[in-house]
Amino acid sequence: MHYVGIDMSKADFHASFDDSGKTEVFTNAPDGYRALESRLSKKGFTKEGTTVGTEATGTYHLPLAAFLSRAGWRVTVINPMITSRLSRSKIRSAKTDRIDAGVVRRAAAQGDGYLFTETPDIMMMKSLASQRAALVATRAGLRRRIEARTPRDRASGLPAHGAYEAVIASMSREIALIEGRLARMSLPEQQLLRSIPGIGPASSSAIVATVTDIRRFDHPKKLVAYLGLDCRVHESGASVRGKGFLTKKGDGLLRHALFMAAFIAARRNPELKAYYAKKRAEGLHHTAVLCAVERKLVHIIWAVWTRGTPFLKREAPASEGAGA
């Protein structure tokens, strides 16, 4: 098996083909992708016997990964946290594009990363879901500004200038257009997830677009960790007992969507409603309990998606539901 490491940037990328430490530079454009594929063929690297590893760099790696994947090459995407850890493990912790490409190759060779399987529909859905989330957050911020501005406008006694209102109206139209397009792009997986109380059109789009293939996760705890909803505890010996906190390694916009979904699920799902009431009765803060509900919701998402059958609402056990 041959392994290739790609260190991607906006304008170009470095490719490491072996353990020599040497790299070749290609432009981050279709001509560069074709040149890389030609170089792989000249080296005798076959599609069946080669894994191309690329570090996840926002969106810069996507065009190359999509190009190679469509051409039949096996592409794995490496989390930057993994390559960072591998870099720190070296005695000399230098950092250059050439070295980084070698580190990515090393990560790919030891089986790190996940197989790139994103289709054009999934990539477009992810883009639309991200745009919608950003617009919704910006609109909410403008509404808060209006609330803060209103008393001052009243105190002035002069007609207010509705600049924020006009922008909000424009944003609302764009959000509606995006939601309509997402609805038309709805995949079977989205319909399946929408059977879960709290999961609507927007959140189901965000989940499917981010996770892409549930088979990447053979246990719900791995999906929880991927989304950054697992807790990290800092302990050392008998004297250090740090407070646990969310790792927040995953997509922030999706975590927010899941948090809002958990807020709804804690009211509409009898089992989660009873769980919420139980934890609140134990004295936990509302936000902390919703985070716990969020993790349970991810377990449900994993089960429904893996099983391939709609969610079946269950009544809470009498012992749990008594305090709801």
Domain ranges of the chain: 2-115, 120-185, 201-321
pLDDT at 172 over 90: yes
Tell me the mean pLDDT in the region 9-24: 90
Provide the percentage of residues in the chain whose pLDDT is more than 90. Answer: 41
Give the 3-state secondary structure of the chain.
CEEEEEEECCCEEEEECCCCCCEEEEECCHHHHHHHHHHHHHCCCCCCCEEEEEECCCCCCHHHHHHHHHCCCEEEEECHHHHHHHHHCCCCCCCCHHHHHHHHHHHHHCCCCEECCCCHHHHHHHHHHHHHHHHHHHHHHHHHHHHHHHHHHHHHCCCCCCHHHHHHHHHHHHHHHHHHHHHHCCCHHHHHHCCCCCCCHHHHHHHHHHHCCHHHCCCHHHHHHHCCCCEECCEECCCEECCCEECCCCCHHHHHHHHHHHHHHHHHCHHHHHHHHHHHHCCCCHHHHHHHHHHHHHHHHHHHHHHCCCCCCCCCCHHHHCCC
Q: Which of 40-49, 91-100, 113-122 has the highest mean pLDDT?
A: 40-49
Asked if the model's pLDDT at residue 320 lies above 50, the reply is: no
CATH level 3 topology of 2-115: Nucleotidyltransferase; domain 5 (3.30.420)
Q: Residue 269: pLDDT above 50?
A: yes
**pTM for this structure?**
0.69
* pLDDT, tens only, 40-68: 999 999 999 999 999 887 788 999 999 99
pLDDT at 245: 46
User: Using one digit for the tens of pLDDT, what is the confidence trace for 289-309?
Assistant: 888 999 999 999 999 999 999
